[in-house]
Amino acid sequence: MNQVKRKKSWYDYLWIASLMYLVLGFFQILFAWLGLLCFFIPLIIAVVKGNKGYCNRYCGRGQLFELIGGRFGLSRRKDVPKCMKSKAFRCYGPGSFRGTGRIMA
């Protein structure tokens, strides 16, 4: 099967921005503020447009994880455990992680 390679757009390289603010944030806290932009921009787009357009196309973090796990082969290629896919975990899991972090701090 011949696969046609599509021309890469500017947003195919947004993983570099995610990597930059992650690494530079360790050395200067002002760079970590860029992470807030990467958090709020998708929320604003989701509220205004009502879809996950940012996540599906522009998300640099998702591109970075795909690059690390796919091209570099640093993934264990295992499926997510069934307990983490349950509705109860999705509702209460993140809150319990945050709560545990606050107790330990």
Q: How far apart are CA 87 and CA 75, in angstroms?
A: 25
Distance between CA 34 and CA 41 in Å, rounded? 11
Q: What is the pLDDT of residue 6?
A: 76
The answer to whether the CB of 59 falls within 8 A of the CB of 46 is no
Domain boundaries, the chain: 10-77
pLDDT digits (tens, 9 = 90+) for 26-68: 888 887 777 777 778 888 888 888 877 777 677 777 777 777 7
Distance CA 54, CA 43 (A): 9
More confident residue, 103 or 25: 25
CA–CA separation, 47 vs 67, rounded Å? 28
85 pLDDT above the threshold of 60: yes
Mean of the per-residue pLDDT values of the chain: 76
